[in-house]
Amino acid sequence: IKTTLLLNANEYESVNERVVSSLRDAHVRVGGRISNNKRNTYTELPPLPERINVVRATRDMASESFDPDIVFVKGGDSQTMIGFVGNYPNTQFVDLDQPVPCVDSGGRPDRSGACSGGVSALPGTCAVVTSEVEGPASLAGVVAASASSNDRLGIISGMSDCEQCNRIIQGYVQGARSVEPGIAIELAYLADDNEEQAFSDPDSARTFAQAFIDVYQPDVLLPVAADASIGMVEAACESGVSVIGAGIDVSTEHPELETCVLASITKDIETAVRDSMFDYTSNS
């Protein structure tokens, strides 16, 4: 089996490491080899800094004479990918942690936004693994609102158009307001359209969070900005503000900060990767 993995460098580094490890393991378990022999190999591209470059690399990899059997993508764009996967009928694409793309009943990208096709209309060569983050985020919101002594929560996200960030925020807010309907929740973003600043610059995020805390005075902070989040966690801990982690288990990844971490919203990405690989080989 010929397996390819493409990663976005703006994702959590520790999550990317878990994806690499679990996919390598799954590739070997289904009979693949980690070698330079392109007839039977695992190929891993270096992490790319921008989402659009991940999408382009996905398309380019599928169009090579290498002709991979299965391509895993972490940090791409499922809506863009759906526009070209049909051109490569011999390659299975698995987009991790992405929303189901909007398609019509024929499985084509639906620019009207009606999305009448749904999951069942997706081409057979396209699989999208969507994490249900709203439920865990809602529970985290309950924890945050219950722990708050001044009824003021803060949320700092990377960018306003981060779909999964917004799902986490929505679930978190609903959970918090189920406990305290009138609780004050302030939301801010690290950047408008600069992905590196939004998700990969912990130093800038730390400065931003310090100013945010000074202005809004939350006693619980939810950072949702991939690797930039750790800077905000550090700022919150230094200011005596409690933290809800998102994307990684902050207490495990950064035990020196665990005393100010109330809980973390995490995903079992390893199981998603392994199950996707096993499903592919069992149906091939």
Average pLDDT of the chain to the nearest whole number: 91
Q: In what order do the strands lie in the sheet with 261-265?
A: 184-189, 152-157, 220-224, 242-246, 261-265
pLDDT of residue 40: 56
Nearest to 6 by CA among 39, 40, 65, 52: 52
Query: pLDDT tens digits for 137-171?
Result: 999 999 999 999 999 999 999 999 888 899 999 99
| Measured CA distances, 142 to 157, 211, 229 (Å) | 19, 25, 21
Q: Record the pTM.
A: 0.82
- Least confident stretch, 49-53, 147-151, 178-182, 197-201: 49-53
Which two tokens mark 149?
Answer: 């002594």
Query: Which pLDDT belongs to residue 51?
Result: 85
Percent of the chain topping pLDDT 70: 98
How many other CB atoms sit within 10 Å of the CB of residue 235?
24
State the pLDDT at residue 50: 84
Which tops the pLDDT comparison, 97 or 190?
190
Question: Which of 277, 282, 283 lies closest to 70, judged by CA?
Answer: 277
**Whether the predicted pLDDT of 16 surpasses 80:** yes
Q: Which of 4-8, 16-20, 49-53, 260-264 is the least confident region?
A: 49-53
For position 61, what pLDDT does the model report? 82
pLDDT band at 241 (very low <50, low <70, confident <90, very high): very high
Check pLDDT > 80 for residue 64: no
The Cα 54–Cα 75 span in angstroms is 7
Give strand pairing partners of 92. Answer: 70
**How do residues 69-90 score in pLDDT, each as one tens digit?**
999 999 888 899 998 988 888 8
- Indicate if the pLDDT at residue 38 is higher than 60: no
Q: Confidence band (pLDDT; 50, 70, 90) for 39?
A: low
Q: What whole-number distance in Å separates Cα of residue 156 and Cα of residue 122?
A: 34
Burial of 43 per CB tally in 10 Å (0-12, 13-18, 19+) = middle
- What pLDDT score was predicted for residue 36? 62
Q: Which residues contact 114 (CB under 8 A, 6 or more apart)?
A: 102, 104
Residue 176: both structure tokens together: 């918090």
- The residue among 166, 140, 179 whose CA lies nearest residue 263 is 140
